Structure 1
Amino acid sequence: MEQKPSVRIEYCPKCGWLLRAAYMAQELLTTFSDDLEGVFLAPAELAGTFKVSVNTGLIFDRKREGRFPEIKELKKLVRDKVNPEKSLGHTDKH
């Protein structure tokens, strides 16, 4: 049996971003309960870090994008990696 993918959210604890990371983890676990092994929250060593990866592939980097991801956007990025056929319901509508 193939292992399900996992998501890693690396956040800056000094910036107070744990709650944001935990909220995003909760949303991803709710939406992808059948598709993910889990979501791992990792305090970053480097200040200002907020990165989201699926397995080892980086899908969002706050510093590169200059902002945080919207939850709808993050769900689409994760869906495209873990289950491209999955409908996200109203999130998919433009």
Structure 2
Amino acid sequence: MISADSPLPPLPRVVIHYCTGCRWLLRAGWLAQELLTTFEKELSEVALRPGSGGVFRVEVDGELLWDRKAEDGFPELKILKQRLRDRIAPDKPLGHSDRP
């Protein structure tokens, strides 16, 4: 049981690693905006981390959610939201993003 003076556990942090040479900043920024809008009370922040070599990865608290190279493409927003929700807020409804 958590008492009133106990500190709350820190909220999760998402990091989007994107390739600057590929010009994927806008894509990373759009994903960050969408995740912050959907999970405004469940996330502490979404950070953008520039990289190179075609990188496009999404991590939550250091755990991989999506890797463009491993998944053979960019994430659909619906799939990314579902994966993030399953990790940080399993009971959160996602509205139309929950539909098949």
* Cα deviation, residue 68, structure 1: 0.2
Give me the identity figure in percent. Answer: 49
Shift of 1:67: 0.4
Matched, 1:35 2:35: no
* Residue matched to 1:4: 11
Residue of structure 2 in register with 1:76 after alignment: 82
Cα separation, 2, equivalents of 1:62 and 1:13? 14
Displacement of 1:47 = 1.1
In structure 1, the residue matched to 2:62 is 56
What TM-score, normalized by structure 1, do the two folds share?
Answer: 0.97
One-letter amino acid matched to 1:6: R
Match of 1:43, as an amino acid?
P
Aligned residues: 93
Q: Which runs of 4+ in 1 moved over 4 A?
A: none
TM-score (norm 2): 0.91
In 2: Cα distance, 1:52 partner to 1:92 partner:
20
Looking at structure 2, the residues matched to 90 and 62 of structure 1 have their Cα atoms a distance apart, in angstroms, of 24
Give SS of 2:23's match.
coil
Deviation at 1:78, TM superposition (A): 0.7
User: How far 1:7 moved relative to its partner?
Assistant: 0.4
What value does the CA root-mean-square deviation take over the aligned residues? 0.6
Unaligned stretches of 5+ in structure 2? 1-7
